[in-house]
Structure 1
């Protein structure tokens, strides 16, 4: 299994490769489409039937028990603009190789499946080009409306529907109904590496609050407008950037994460006082009470900037992703399956969001991690050693085998 997986991963990583050793495969772009076509061709060579649903999710299915639901195994191929090559793509390819191994077991009579299997590449997990993130899995799970998602536009006004069509993945297929789901991913932190542990078994996700904010000023001439007459949107926005960072100092170290991830200045000319600045604020905590206090403090900072009179601040959208647990039965199943392989494991939370965060609210779901070198992610320097990648494929295969054969809190019948 080792060499074929590593060769396939190297081939996939060349699609959308960046000079710094990462990838740029934003959702619905030409490079994303090339990576997905590569996967469809891989499905064809290995006996998996491709299905693309209306939200652009790509499935490779293996049906053993007609009429029975599926175990969904996978992650995502889309990326950030300058991203590492492991985030998401590793989980899709690991699931694909696990599926082929398990199909061989079934053909040899070593596994009698109670349900079917689908490898999945969820559309727009990252949310870099289109917002929100976790888009395809959100439609699958019913938390997002397909029509509304297809109408979402990127910064250039291209809709999701147009991007899917242009990249060759505007689908009309019926997605496979799920009995359970499993995702493996790089940790994007350094706990596993620091502890020398092979596999993380995720027990729950951090709570996250996300805000899209616009600071409104008045466009004017940088060389002719008196300071007293300026309504500088960039100054007000800068105050909010600093306020978000300073929020973390109100709590114990490690309790709160706060960032401004996107910052758009208009008209962005060197001789124009900015008229508008749009920014996305991201707050996260393991503790809901901490996040609620941080939210109230952020609202107070926004009110202060708005109330000073120079600019006006609007909150265009705000969302909360609550902290919820992965099913304990799935955690215990994963630990038992991993123990059989001889690999070490530990329980842990995920600070980042993943498609499995959506899935666990609909079907029994397992989330696994492999180590990340120095915890680096969303960066071209992102790295996971070959041995850790292969350990993850082994663990995922063992977990998926049990999900195929063992009733996990009953078959919930799909979405």
Structure 2
């Protein structure tokens, strides 16, 4: 059996080794796009791919494609993969399980003697995390054409350094137009990932099979009021930007609760205040809001409520408000045949399953523009993610890799 060829000791060791390639020591993992740690992790991973006799190709922004050439290379390949970048103070499993687990699935298939008809491509996506430029899934966004090249060239980090600077530093100097792929570039895409939620662990379920992926709309508010001395300006005369922002943040919460969908979530994740002095009235606020649902109608209702109420709040308080849309993405519906296939392979292996919605978004959200997709979720401790105590057991990972390997085999026949 393919599952018997999975070398879990090797995979666990690799996860640990990669976790130590970080801007900060374990247990905290930090690998920001094209930082020294990220570049070391990329080089480390490429060595493992070459050791597995996979051919490598990198595009103009560092998306890495490791290919096991099939018997009929003219057929559209099967793809899997995830990301290796990590937000500051993160854990060692998010994204990594999908990349190293994908590599182990390929190694297990090879060890079992299987030879694919379709090529199998393992993708390590660039910048799934939004840390460098404030945009998540940059590699798959650009690959799928969701982010136009002209907009990508305008991206800057907090120091004003753009994507061209950072990709050049990493040695990627080809034309960015090479990143864009046509729909149908892959016959299918299946991503293995930790759940990043508690449901599988709570219910004792081995494998989550993803049917839908929620998508975010993100907004940036700039509020401008009037500053002044905290003791000298009386309350009726104030135009306090912080208080306007606080009301907007509460309106964001209420909009999610009253959208009509239990899956609507909204978060005010950035709230920056100027001048930031205890004895000075806040005159400026920058806020960033994340709004998500798998139901576009519900998300749009919530968005309308947020925008209407924020305008009313600012008018009442005498605050100027400018609004910038960071992104507005469409949810993805996973391919029914792929969902059924993953479910069937899990059951054949004796694993319990549950169909799920992914409320976090992943590169699969944008890969859905290029091919049929689904995701394989495995349990993680208390649903923790994006924190140092993020954890998924070797046994949970082994089961996910086994399901992925069997799925890739069926798709590449």
Shorter-chain TM-score above 0.5: yes
Bigger Cα displacement from structure 2, 70-79 vs 171-180: 171-180
- Please point out which of 2, 8, 11 is paired with 2:14: 8
- Please point out which of 111, 127, 130 is paired with 1:127: 130
**Cα separation, partners in 2 of 1:6 and 1:224, compared to 1, 3 Å:** same
- Please point out which of 279, 287, 290 is paired with 1:279: 287
CA RMSD after TM alignment: 2.5
- 1:411 aligns with none
Q: Are 2:82 and 1:79 equivalent residues in the alignment?
A: no
- The number of aligned residues is 401
Q: Are 2:32 and 1:26 equivalent residues in the alignment?
A: yes
**Cα separation, partners in 2 of 1:163 and 1:43, compared to 1, 3 Å:** same
1:22-78 deviation line (CA, Å, top 9, x unaligned): 311122222222211111121222212221112321121222333333222100111
Per-residue deviation, 1:82? 1.9
**Cα separation, partners in 2 of 1:271 and 1:48, compared to 1, 3 Å:** farther
- Please point out which of 160, 163, 170 is paired with 1:160: 163
Q: Residues 285-364 of structure 1 correspond to what in structure 2 (within 5 A)?
A: 285-317=293-325, 319-364=327-372
Gaps of 5+ in 2: 1-6
SS at match of 2:187: strand
- 1:117 aligns with 120
Q: Are 2:106 and 1:103 equivalent residues in the alignment?
A: no
> Distance between the aligned counterparts of 2:204 and 2:301, measured in 1?
35
TM-score (norm 2): 0.89
Q: Are 2:83 and 1:88 equivalent residues in the alignment?
A: no
**Cα separation, partners in 2 of 1:104 and 1:71, compared to 1, 3 Å:** same
Contact 1:212/1:318 (<8 A) preserved? yes
Contact 1:138/1:358 (<8 A) preserved? yes
- Please point out which of 67, 74, 79 is paired with 1:67: 74
> Distance between the aligned counterparts of 1:399 and 1:301, measured in 2?
48
Per-residue deviation, 1:389? 1.2
Per-residue deviation, 1:390? 1.4
> Distance between the aligned counterparts of 1:307 and 1:300, measured in 2?
11
> Distance between the aligned counterparts of 2:332 and 2:210, measured in 1?
11
Q: Residues 178-197 of structure 1 correspond to what in structure 2 (within 5 A)?
A: 178-197=186-205
Gaps of 5+ in 1: 406-415
> Distance between the aligned counterparts of 1:334 and 1:348, measured in 2?
12
Q: Are 2:406 and 1:394 equivalent residues in the alignment?
A: no
- 2:58 aligns with 52
**Cα separation, partners in 2 of 1:253 and 1:181, compared to 1, 3 Å:** closer
Bigger Cα displacement from structure 2, 248-257 vs 193-202: 248-257
**Cα separation, partners in 2 of 1:332 and 1:255, compared to 1, 3 Å:** closer
**Cα separation, partners in 2 of 1:153 and 1:17, compared to 1, 3 Å:** closer
Contact 1:56/1:170 (<8 A) preserved? no
- 1:43 aligns with 49
> Distance between the aligned counterparts of 2:97 and 2:405, measured in 1?
14
Per-residue deviation, 1:306? 1.9
- Please point out which of 134, 149, 153 is paired with 2:152: 149
> Distance between the aligned counterparts of 1:118 and 1:307, measured in 2?
54
- Please point out which of 248, 264, 277 is paired with 2:272: 264
- Please point out which of 219, 243, 250 is paired with 2:251: 243
Bigger Cα displacement from structure 2, 175-184 vs 357-366: 175-184
1:145-180 deviation line (CA, Å, top 9, x unaligned): 234214301112121222223244556696684222
SS at match of 1:59: strand
Moved over 6 A (4+): none
Contact 1:27/1:123 (<8 A) preserved? yes
